[in-house]
Amino acid sequence: MDPDKIIIGIDLGTTNSLAATVFDHGPEAIHTPNASPIIPSVLYRDDHVWVVGEQARRKRVEAPERTVFSVKRLMGRDAQELESDIPLLSYEVRAAQRGLVKVHIGEEAFTPQELSAEILREVKRNAEAALGFPIQRAVITVPAYFDDAQRQATRDAGRIAGLEVVRIINEPTAAAIAYGLDQGQKGTVAVYDLGGGTFDVSILQLTGQVFKVLATHGNTHLGGDDFDMAIAGELKRRLREAHPEADLTRPVVAPLLRKVAEAIKIELSRAPETPYSLDIPEIGLRHSDIFTVDTLNELIAPYVEETLQSCRQALAAAGKAVEEIDDVVMVGGSSRIPMVRTRVEALFGRRPNISINPDEVVAAGAGVQGHLLAGGRRDFVLLDVVPLSLGIETLGGTFSKLIIANTTIPAQATELFTTYVDNQTGVDLNVYQGEREFVADCRHLGRFKLKGVPPMPAGLPKVKVTFLVDANGILTVSAVEERSGQEARIEVIPSHGLTNEEIERIMDESVEHAVEDLNQRQIVEFRNTAEAVFRGIDTAWDTAEEILTPDHRVQIEAQVRVVKEAVQGSDPVALKSEMDKLGELTRPLADAIMSQGALTELKRFFQDHSQE
């Protein structure tokens, strides 16, 4: 594996993220020994430093206003589009300039691109730790139904994270690559991808060397998060019924309901019913009950039906009948839900293929694509499509489509325009994406100002505008005035997203504060690890009294006090040193506990400690 050439694949997910690449034995998720490759896409802001992953996920109930999740749903979208989502979030989201939204934590504010960049940085760090060399380039996956603004936002996030995003690839297509190469499959395949926040279905034609996407459909705002919210809504209804006096508006309530809802959803994937308990000391409430799979199915049925309707539309766009589908591949964590699999089987008339890990298959496919782009195996060709039609606003607010949905990319289209006023030297063009006939019902991508048109009578200028969708599915626009032979200068004013200047500023600030941020990050991470170890020692103290001498226990208690004092300081090296001493003192206790298969937090710490 050549460190200078490697291009990893990254699945940047709503719920979880991970990286993969092609090793000698084939594509595989990247991870260090005894660790999971999966990183929860959750961020926690602690003393002006981001904590990302599992440690952050544990803070969702404890500090909901400082814990950010489901960032992917905010990417490339404005406050109006997120109007129904924002009240359901435990953190604060406000409208910003040019259609952006920002997440506010205390006095600080962050764009979704910056937040996604932090998740990508964590994925990058984990991959570098596992591979043993720096990572510079990546293929990043997005939902097939992501529009241009959302793809641009993803590319910007990668750039902020210090990655060259060499390709953006659709998630179902990535899954099909991993599936097709692994299974040696040929024929027409439907990839049903139901993740934490998005849904896509793609119909692909697989032959020996060509992976051609025939059609795609989906919803970038439908997934496991919606199931969780539906379950949480039912839990809240039950609480109101059983405890009408309880104040359920307190900030702690919503994240706790979401946490319990997610646990219920997961448990009901393997059992017909599950007990649950809600303990909210802040409002003096304790509640227990049973949640059945029948109730779950009733709650999520409308969402599942929406995914099936997308499947029907994709089949129609591909010109395929259900009987012509040779296999149905299930992708995404939410595809594990039994009702989902049952309904998909009923629609397609065949048992879905669940042979590949639905959590890792998208990253694996992206890793294969990265390997190909880096000069590796070249035994297949990938032909993807534009998910939604692209065009401009014309007279009367109508939508003139230049590039039609499901056109194979890269794609290009050209249109001629003229002026309607004498001596007009500039023309405003509004670019949209969608399938409706009027721009009011489509997605506004940006306004393009054509300047430098020579003064002429109305109707004489011939302005040729070219739309180009590249292999990433990202649109660029150029123009030239043909009569004069002069190119018109285009000033792009994006409706959503960061300007190049803003991205450069963010990157410059990152470099400027790199050492300071690293030290601060280390102290925060060591503090969190120390707190986990303290909890582990407290839990195991009965065992300590059985296996350790009184003098040994006194030494441990003294060192715990030293570490707790170091936790209050700002020197990561000193804190790490004191934690190492505590680790040596408690190793016999940890060995005894690990042999019993108990105390997960303490076990994790000592596994990490032993690798240093």
Backbone angles phi, psi at 572, to 5 degrees: -65, -35
User: How far apart are alpha carbons 407 and 413 in whole angstroms?
Assistant: 11
Q: What is the pLDDT of residues 551-561, one digit of tens each?
A: 888 998 899 89
- Let me know if 581 is a catalytic residue: no
Q: Are residues 257 and 165 in the same domain?
A: no
Task: Note whether residue 318 is domain-resident.
Answer: no
State the pLDDT at residue 611. Answer: 46
Q: Check whether residue 478 and residue 535 sit in a common domain.
A: no
CATH number at residue 581: 1.20.1270.10
Q: What is the reported pLDDT for 118? A: 96
CA distances from 12 to 115, 149, 261, 308, 360 (A): 12, 16, 23, 24, 11
46 catalytic residue (yes or no): no
Per-residue DSSP letters for 48-102? TEEEESHHHHTHHHHSGGGEE--GGGGTT--TTTTTTTGGG-SSEEEE-GGG-EE
State both tokens at 430: 């509004």
Name the phi and psi angles at 290, rounded to 5. -115, 140
Average pLDDT, integer, range 362-369:
93
State how many domains the chain has.
4
Q: Is residue 432 part of a domain?
A: yes
Q: What is the DSSP string of 331-387?
A: ESGGGGSHHHHHHHHHHHTSPPB--S-TTTHHHHHHHHHHHHHTT-----EEE-B-S
* 572 in the same domain as 471: no
Residues 134 and 266 in one domain: no
Residues 573 and 486 placed together within one structural domain of the fold: no
Percent of the chain residues topping a pLDDT of 70 = 90
Q: What is d(CA 51, CA 106) in angstroms, rounded to the nearest whole number?
A: 16
Q: Does residue 102 fall inside a structural domain?
A: yes
pLDDT value at residue 608: 53
pLDDT at 181: 66
Assess whether pLDDT exceeds 80 at residue 182: no
Asked if residue 80 belongs to a domain, the reply is yes
Residue 70: pLDDT band by 50, 70, 90 thresholds? Answer: very high
> Is 58 part of any domain?
yes
Q: Please determine, for residue 569, whether its predicted confidence score (pLDDT) is greater than 90.
A: no
The residue that leads in pLDDT, 583 or 183, is 583
Residue 228 forms part of a structural domain: yes
Q: Select the highest-mean-pLDDT range: 286-295, 372-381, 395-404, 526-535.
A: 286-295
**Model confidence at 397: pLDDT above 80:** yes
Average pLDDT over residues 406-418: 89
Of residues 46, 59, 72, 265, which has the active-site annotation? Answer: 72
pLDDT-derived band at 35, boundaries 50, 70, 90:
confident
What is the residue whose two structure tokens read 């009240």? 87
User: Cα–Cα–Cα angle for 179, 181, 185, nearest 5°?
Assistant: 70
Q: Rounded distance, CA 398 to CA 391, Å? A: 10
For residue 550, give its domain range: 514-611
Q: Do 12 and 156 have their domain in common?
A: yes
In a domain, 468, yes or no: yes
Query: What CATH code is carried by the domain that includes residue 47?
Result: 3.30.420.40
261, containing H or E segment: helix 253-267
- The number of angstroms, rounded, from the C-alpha of 258 to the middle of its chain's C-alpha atoms is 18
253 or 180: whose pLDDT is higher? Answer: 253
* pLDDT for position 394: 78
From residue 328, alpha-carbon distances to 116, 160, 224, 289, 313 in Å are 31, 37, 20, 37, 16
**Per-residue pLDDT, 135:** 95
Residue 450 lies in a domain: yes
Residue finishing a domain among 315, 345, 376? 376
2 has a pLDDT exceeding 80: no
Mean pLDDT value of segment 218-244: 93
Whether residue 459 is found in the same domain as residue 493: yes
Give the model's pLDDT for residue 488.
62
Q: Of 78, 118, 156, 193, which residue is the catalytic one?
A: 193
Q: Which of 171, 225, 226, 234 is catalytic?
A: 171
24 lies in the same domain as 142: yes
pLDDT of residue 604: 53
Max mean pLDDT range (163-172, 180-189, 500-509): 163-172
* Residue 263 and residue 292 in one domain: yes
pLDDT value at position 496? 64
Q: Which of 497, 524, 539 is the last residue of a domain?
A: 497
Q: What pLDDT is stored for residue 544 in this prediction?
A: 79
pLDDT of residue 378: 57
Neighbours of 233 (CB within 10 A): 14
Tell me the average pLDDT across 566-584: 85
**Are 143 and 27 found together in one domain?**
yes
271: which 2 tokens?
A: 């059992």
C-alpha 114/C-alpha 141 separation (Å) is 17
> Is 247 assigned a catalytic role?
no
Confidence band, pLDDT 50/70/90 cuts, at residue 258: very high
pLDDT tens-digit series, residues 6-25: 999 999 999 999 999 998 88
* C-alpha closest to that of 552 among 566, 563, 537: 537
**pLDDT > 90 fraction of the chain, expressed in percent and rounded:** 46
Name which residue leads in pLDDT, 528 or 499: 528
- How far CA 18 is from CA of 15, 55, 363, in Å, comes to 11, 16, 7
* Res. 523: pLDDT tops 80: no
Distance separating alpha carbons of residues 50 and 324, to the nearest angstrom: 49
Top-confidence residue, 370 or 498: 370
Question: For 575, which DSSP code?
Answer: H
Choose one of 428, 463, 497: the last residue of a domain. Answer: 497
Residue 598's pLDDT is 42
Tell me, yes or no, if 359 is annotated catalytic: no
How large is the average pLDDT for residues 237-255? 89
Residue identified by tokens 């792009």 is 492
Q: Lowest-pLDDT range, 65-79, 119-133, 481-495, 572-586?
A: 481-495
Q: pLDDT-based confidence at 599, cuts 50/70/90?
A: very low
- CA-to-CA distance for 114 and 133, rounded, in angstroms? 24
What mean pLDDT is predicted for residues 59-78? 91
Please write the tens of the pLDDT for every residue from 451-507: 778 888 877 888 888 888 988 888 888 888 888 777 766 555 566 666 666 667 776
The b/e string for 112-129 (b: 16+ C-beta within 10 A; e otherwise) is bbbbbbbbbbbbbebbbe
Query: What's the CATH code of the domain at 250?
Result: 3.90.640.10
Task: State the CATH number of the domain containing residue 482.
Answer: 2.60.34.10
Select the more confidently predicted residue: 605 or 496: 496
Instruction: Quote the CA–CA distance of 362 and 384 in Å, as a whole number.
Output: 15
Residue 116 has pLDDT above 70, yes or no: yes
Q: What are phi and psi of 248, to 5 degrees?
A: -90, 10
> How confident is the model at residue 330, as a pLDDT?
93
Q: Please provide the average confidence, as pLDDT, over all residues in the chain.
A: 86
Q: Do residues 475 and 537 share a domain?
A: no
| 610: confidence class by pLDDT, cuts 50, 70, 90 | very low
Q: Are residues 519 and 431 in the same domain?
A: no
